[in-house]
Chain A
Amino acid sequence: MSTTPHPIAPEEIMAHLDGELSPARAHSVSTHLDSCSACQEFAASLRSTSQSLSSWTTGPNPAGLENKVILAASKSPSQTGSLGSNRFPRTHRWRRKQWIGGLAVTAAATVFLFSISIPTLHRSQSVAQKASVLTHLREQKAQVTYGQPVDNARVNSEEEQQDSARLGSTYYSQALSAPAPPASAKALKETTTLQLYAKLQGATGPQQAGPMIARTVSLSIIAKDFDSSRASLDAILVRHNGYSANLSVSTPQDAARSLQASLRIPAPQLPTALAELKALGRAEAENQSGEEVTQQHADLVARLKNSRETEQRLQAILTQRTGKISDVLEVEQEIARVRGEIEQMEAEQKNLEHRVDFATIDLKLCEEYKAKLDSPTPAISTLFHNAAVNGYRNVADTLLSIVLFFAEYGPVLVFWLLVFFIPAWLARRRWRHATAAI
């Protein structure tokens, strides 16, 4: 080997043999190769290495390859977008497998969901049907009670239970045993409902009354004529034997007047009263809700009954037994305590029944405001001052919200990051290890 420095780099000799040099540079390399034995030897070794690769053969093409591809090409290029899956059996088979697997998983998931949801649906339907019947009957009973305008709508709990028992036995038995068939569809519907109710009563026991629901309605109305709407509101209250538990009127300057009131209307007359209230103007928002207090009421009645019996026994002890003065005083103290509990529970009971008998309407009546030309506008400096103050408050609120968010959710985020970090890190490391050699 020659150790004499060469004007031609080995890479250039290789590039020359590959035909990658410019003509001028190729000429100079060729000239040098003619005169340099070391470079000739190097070029020969490169050729030898390249020729040795020729022993790596791949064999002939598979027999089916040509047919498949030529068949796919038989369609015009504009239609080749739809080629593929049906042209290449392997791909087609693979996709069909995916489809079959996906359909099987979907079918299994559907069956699973149905098996879970159908019993729940049946249960919820029967409960809803039962509740509907009981509500309907309760309304009918209330209409019987409040059919005429009433001044005192309070219903005692014992009366309630008696009414329920009577409704469940006498009244509905009469209805069931009525000799004449219902004359109208409405009567037929009521009879069917009553039959169902009687069946339910028989299944659940005669002591159980219908559900007690305290209804609340929120209503927001925009009225064009505020004064006439106010007068109509009072008339509606009188007409439906209701009252306003709370009422406040706001009449700001250069702004719309508004009225906020909490109205109490007898529950059976709620739909009619609502319809009349909505006629006062344009109903902007309406929200109705009902709270069932049956269980609460039953507990209260039972506790009240126990307390009354306790009080009676204590009274009997006080009148029939004799003993020390300290014992007498202790019994009197106990009687006073039980009496206090009884009165408190009676008040709660009355309140609960009142909530059921009288629906609450939270009414917001706003006037449709019309701006006036002579309204004074604040000074520009005041506007700037107010804007600056509002801007400062907004920035402070935003920063505070961010801090509060991280204080509230930061630990949870850190927790989940730690939970997911280790598996993700392991998967990533394995993936990198697998792809490093690709």
Chain B
Amino acid sequence: MQDALPALVLNSEALPRTAMNDTPPMRAFPASPASDEHLMLAFSKGSAESFNELFLRYKQPIYGFFRRRTADPSHAEELTQEAFLVLLRAASRYEPRALFRTYLYAIAFKILRAHRRKSAFQATFFGQPKSILDPAKQDSTESGLWVRRAVEKLDRIDHEILLLREFEQLSYAEIADLLHLPINTVRSRLFRARTALRNLLEPSAATSPSDAAPSAEPAASSTAAQTIPQKGIRL
């Protein structure tokens, strides 16, 4: 376990966490003190109220997960429904071997990949417009649009790691598990993504990127980030 230092991320619909491998704090849900895992186990034994509670906790994070990755809000809604439907179907086979939120995001990520494959197939062989690379055009403020355009310029894997960390608040280990990447690769790519995003959002910082970050004695990680092998899951 890590110490309870405050996390960097502050801006997610995901449930707040104080450290890696911690469940959401009880203060967020004073009326329902049970953990996600307990609720899921209760639901697998037939408690519909437990599922309702889980749904109330995760409906916004899961919808946000899909909304940031798809262009059409109706697609995000449909994928959210599908994710919870899969959760319903798999309830009888659920075993609390990992955090529930990791389990749920793994389901969502698989559904998202299937949706992307289907969209790519339709775009390839039927000429339908792809909707997977232009997410979230609606209800945007000017600054939000600027941020999204900057995020879209990132490398695809870096982009995904950044979103999983910043918005879904997954730990490095959870991201590595989800994307089938080494944990050090996740850390390096996250660092590279944040640095690139900072340069994109603050053009003045991009003029001297070497000055943007303090040089370190080992100085190996920053150079290693430039030579990260392209392995792991295809996004």
Contacts and interface: CB of A to CB of B under 8 A. Distances in A.
Interface in A1-40: 1-23, 26, 30, 36, 38-39
A76 B143 contact: no
A66 interface: yes
B103 to A, nearest CB: 15
Interface stretch (A46-54, A124-132, A218-226): A46-54
A26 B19 CA distance: 12
Interface stretch (A140-148, A369-377, A428-436): A428-436
Size bin of chain A's contact surface: 35 or more
B216 A10 contact: yes
Interface string A408-438: 0000000000000000000100110111011
A87 B151 CA distance: 35
Contact of B213 (A10, A21, A53, A62): A10
Contacts of A7: 216-217
Given A55-B141, A73-B55, A14 B8 contact: yes
Nearest to B139: A59
B59 A65 contact: yes
Contacts of B171: 20
A287 interface: no
A174 interface: no
A112 B115 CA distance: 36
Contacts of A75: 48
Interface residues of B, number: 94
A10 B217 CA distance: 10
Nearest to A88: B81
B157 to A, nearest CB: 11
Chain B CB count within 10 A is highest, among A19, A57, A66, A427, for: A19
Chain B CB count within 10 A is highest, among A8, A53, A76, A430, for: A53
A81 B106 CA distance: 20
Nearest to B196: A49
Contacts of A30: 5
A57 B133 CA distance: 17
A73 to B, nearest CB: 4
Contacts of A38: 214
Contacts of B59: 61, 65-66, 69
A54 B138 CA distance: 16
A56 interface: yes
A312 interface: no
B145 to A, nearest CB: 9
A23 B215 contact: no
B85 A23 contact: no
Contact of B212 (A2, A45, A62, A66): A45
A58 B85 contact: no
B13 A45 contact: no
A17 B7 contact: yes
A60 B235 CA distance: 26
Contacts of A122: none
Contacts of B43: 73, 77
A69 B53 CA distance: 12
Given A3-B215, A72-B85, A10 B6 contact: no
B216 A8 contact: yes
B15 interface: no
A255 B120 CA distance: 71
A144 B73 CA distance: 90
Contacts of B190: 14
A172 interface: no
Nearest to A49: B198
Contacts of A317: none
A23 B222 CA distance: 23
A12 B3 CA distance: 15
Nearest to B184: A11
Interface in B10-33: 10-11, 13, 18-20
B91 interface: yes
Contacts of B60: 60-61
B169 to A, nearest CB: 10
Interface in A343-400: none
B81 A65 contact: yes
Given A18-B9, A19-B18, A437 B81 contact: no
Contact of A56 (B124, B151, B198): B151
A10 B222 contact: yes
A41 to B, nearest CB: 8
Chain B CB count within 10 A is highest, among A42, A45, A48, A64, for: A45
Contacts of B123: 434
Contacts of A231: none
Given A39-B214, A61-B60, A77-B88, A15 B187 contact: yes
A57 B136 CA distance: 9
A90 B129 CA distance: 20
A13 B116 CA distance: 35
A411 B121 CA distance: 34
Nearest to A24: B3
A26 B2 CA distance: 9
B149 to A, nearest CB: 10
Interface string A63-96: 0111011101111111011011001101100000
Contacts of B77: 62, 64-65
A427 B234 CA distance: 20
A62 B214 contact: no
Contact of B81 (A47, A55, A60, A68): A68
13 contacts: A5-B216, A9-B222, A14-B187, A19-B8, A30-B5, A56-B136, A57-B144, A62-B63, A70-B55, A72-B85, A84-B85, A88-B82, A438-B117
| Closest 8 A/B residue pairs (Cβ) | A54-B11, A9-B216, A17-B8, A58-B67, A77-B91, A10-B213, A80-B88, A434-B124
Given A50-B8, A50-B166, A70-B55, 10 more contacts: A9-B222, A14-B191, A22-B2, A39-B214, A55-B143, A58-B76, A76-B48, A78-B46, A88-B85, A434-B124
Interface of A: 1-23, 26, 30, 36, 38-39, 42, 45-62, 64-66, 68-70, 72-78, 80-81, 83-84, 87-88, 90-91, 427, 430-431, 433-435, 437-438
